[in-house]
Structures are given as structure tokens and as C-alpha cells.
Amino acid sequence: MSVKIIGVGKALPRKKILNSELPEELNTSDEWIRSHTGIGSRYICSENENSAVLGVKAAEAALANAKSNGFFVNSEQIDLIVCSTAVPVHWGFPSNACLIQQSLCADNAAGFDVSAACSGFIYGLQTGRALLNQMNWKYALVIGTEELSRIVNWKDRSSCILFGDGAGAVLLENSEENTEHFGSFVLGTDGKGAEVLYLGTDDILIHMDGHAVYNFAVKKMVEIIQTLMEKDNLSIDDIDLIICHQANERIIQAAAKRLNYPLEKFPILIEEYANTSSASIPISLTDLSENGILKHGMKILLAGFGAGLTWGGCSLTW
Ligand SMILES: CC(C)(COP(=O)(O)OP(=O)(O)OC[C@H]1O[C@@H](n2cnc3c(N)ncnc32)[C@H](O)[C@@H]1OP(=O)(O)O)[C@@H](O)C(=O)NCCC(=O)NCCS
């Protein structure tokens, strides 16, 4: 049995907010935000949009993309929906996966949400892959979908400028093929860092120690990449692209520099979307595949980190 990605898709809210359009009270500037983060704009949910709505659209786009790749999968064939989100429509239950299942008419799918903050897509990918194998299922949707604009503190200029809403999805197929598409996975947590990035229980807003998160992120990205390369016996020459969670372009640049690897192997897609948490990696996969940078047969690494603290990565052949 071999599991592979056969479709990718993304969805963004209708409303785009440029740095220059942020509220004046924030006392920030396009120059500061770009020079400290690489962010130029973000998409924000408005009426009739939320993380489940975006998740459905991203999933539909992944199914359509699979079709264009020659894989005709209808929603009734989907066995599993794994949805990573930090901002579900309902805190607690029902899960976003259930809302998405209903909208897609995926009548035969099991579904649940994953909570691992910005690392959630990688956790979901490994969970989806493992369950397809374990349950002898054929198709799984793994979705990262976020409405961070609902939980950012719009009075805190050091954090609110970082985040945006959006969704990305992949469709996994479990087939009889002998080729293994996924290599190793790395997953980890460190609850000692819980207080550097958390959602307040009373105010339901993001609280962040930016410096602590930055230092953790650079260190962890380096470790994830090195561990995956060691596990799968890869050198940098074997790897075409290293697709990182898009939190701040400076984090990615610093990790690349510390590893002494060419920055060209680290695509940066934060300018338009800002940090979309667990949606950032599947959105990046969609854009890179659509614009022809990510090609069939390429060896890639994925690496993410986030609140928890959590982290995760994997190697795969596209
Ligand atoms: C948040 C972050 C961008 C701050 O960048 P930084 O270079 O460390 O900036 P500092 O916090 O040192 O702030 C420098 C100055 O800019 C100011 N500043 C902060 N945000 C600002 C903003 N949006 N606009 C203008 N000025 C701002 C600060 O008040 C400070 O001013 P001071 O020197 O007068 O006190 C950076 O720490 C970061 O990206 N951390 C990681 C966050 C992250 O990725 N979180 C999500 C993880 S999934």
C-alpha cells in the first residue's frame, strides 16, 4: 500500500487588507511590517465566511485539481476528513470536519479536527496517511483552515499584523502502487513553551512573546530539516524544495542561513497571505504547483512549527 497526494487546493476570503489599510490606531506602517516580516497584505473573513466555509472551498478545489490530474474522486468515495484548525466555527463541537463533511455530501467519511496550531497540517497529514493504511481506506482529505482574524488582538500591533485567514487542502489516495511517496515524519511538542503563544481563556485573543517564538522557530526549523535529511539519508543536493510554515520571511531566511543552504530552495509565499497558521503549507503547495515551480517527481521537505509548542515535518516525492 502506498499513500500519495493526488490533488491540492486553496481558498481565501473575498476581502484583502493591505498593510496601508490597517487601522490607523495601530500606529504601524507598510515599511515596518515588510521589513520585519515580509508581509504585504492578508485576507480576512467577512459576512458568510468562516473556517468551515473556506475548508469546504479548499477541499472542492483539491478534488477538482485531482480530476485535472486524472483522478476522478467523488465526495461519496472520501473515507476520511481530517481538519486542522485553531479557529473552528464552534469551540468544542461539532468539529469543522463534520460541517465540511455535510457541505461536501461526503456521506461515507469519518471526520475529526486536529488541534496543533500552525503545525496542525503536518499532524493531519501523518494522521490521514496512517489511518488510510490502518483502516484500509482509499481517500482522505487533509485540510488546514483558519479564521485567525477572529482571535487576533486588533489593539496589539506586534501580533495582529502577522496573521491572515485562509484554507488549503490535499487529497490523499491509498493505492496498490509499490512506490513510497512519503519518507519520514518528525512530530514533536514542548508544553513548557505553552505560555509564549496562547489563546487567552477569558479574552479569547492571541497572546504572543514574539522574540521567544522567533528563536524557537528558527532553531526548530533547522532541527526538523536536519533530522529528516538524516533519517532519509538525503543531502541538500537531493532536495528540490523546502517548504516551511510561512510565519515570517526572516525566520525562513535565518534557518536557511544557519543551515548554509541556498535560499532559492526555500520558497517564500508570505507577502500576499501573511501567516495563515495550519493553512500556510497547503496554500503554498497549491500555489507552487499551480505556477509550475513544484513539479511531479520532485523531492521536497515540509516543515512547520507553532503554538503548544508544537512542530512537525516530513519528506516526500511530489
Ligand atoms: C513579532 C516580530 C515580527 C517582532 O519583530 P522584532 O524585530 O523582534 O521587533 P521587536 O519586537 O523587537 O520590536 C521592535 C520595535 O518595533 C515596535 N513594533 C512592534 N510591532 C510594530 C508594528 N506592527 N509596527 C511598528 N512598530 C512595531 C516595537 O514596539 C519596538 O519598538 P521599541 O523599540 O520602541 O520598543 C518577531 O519577533 C516575530 O516574527 N516573531 C515570531 C512571531 C511568529 O511567527 N508567531 C507565529 C508563530 S506560528
pLDDT digits (tens, 9 = 90+) for 116-163: 999 999 999 999 999 999 999 999 999 999 999 999 999 999 999 999
- CATH: 3.30.70.3420, 3.30.360.10, 3.40.50.10860, 3.40.47.10. Which one for 2-175? 3.40.47.10
Residue 177 has pLDDT above 90, yes or no: no
Tell me which residues have their CB closer than 6 angstroms to ligand 1: 28, 32-33, 36-37, 118, 157-158, 161-162, 208, 210-211, 213-214, 217, 247-248, 275, 306
* Homologous superfamily (CATH) for 182-317: Thiolase/Chalcone synthase (3.40.47.10)
Q: Identify the three-state secondary structure at position 4.
A: strand
Distance separating alpha carbons of residues 87 and 146, to the nearest angstrom: 6
Question: Residue 125: what pLDDT?
Answer: 98
Going from the Cα of 220 to the center of ligand 1, the distance in angstroms, rounded, reads: 20
Concerning whether 74 is annotated as a catalytic residue, the answer is: no
Widest CA span of the chain, in angstroms? 58
pTM for this one? Answer: 0.97
pLDDT digits (tens, 9 = 90+) for 190-204: 999 999 999 999 999
Amino acid at 55: G
Q: Residue 141 pairs with which residues in a beta bridge?
A: 81, 171
178 confidence band (pLDDT: 50, 70, 90): confident
List where CATH 3.40.47.10 sits in the chain: 2-175, 182-317
Check whether the bond before 88 is cis (ω within 30° of 0). Answer: no
Question: Residue 70: what pLDDT?
Answer: 96
83 confidence band (pLDDT: 50, 70, 90): very high
Residue 1 has pLDDT above 90, yes or no: no
Residue found under cell 480530476: 67
Question: Residue 186: what pLDDT?
Answer: 98
91: closest CA among 246, 208, 200? Answer: 200
Distance separating alpha carbons of residues 46 and 13, to the nearest angstrom: 7
Question: Residue 303: what pLDDT?
Answer: 98
Q: In the predicted model, what is the mean pLDDT of the chain?
A: 97
Question: Residue 242: what pLDDT?
Answer: 98
Catalytic residue among 96, 248, 275, 314: 275
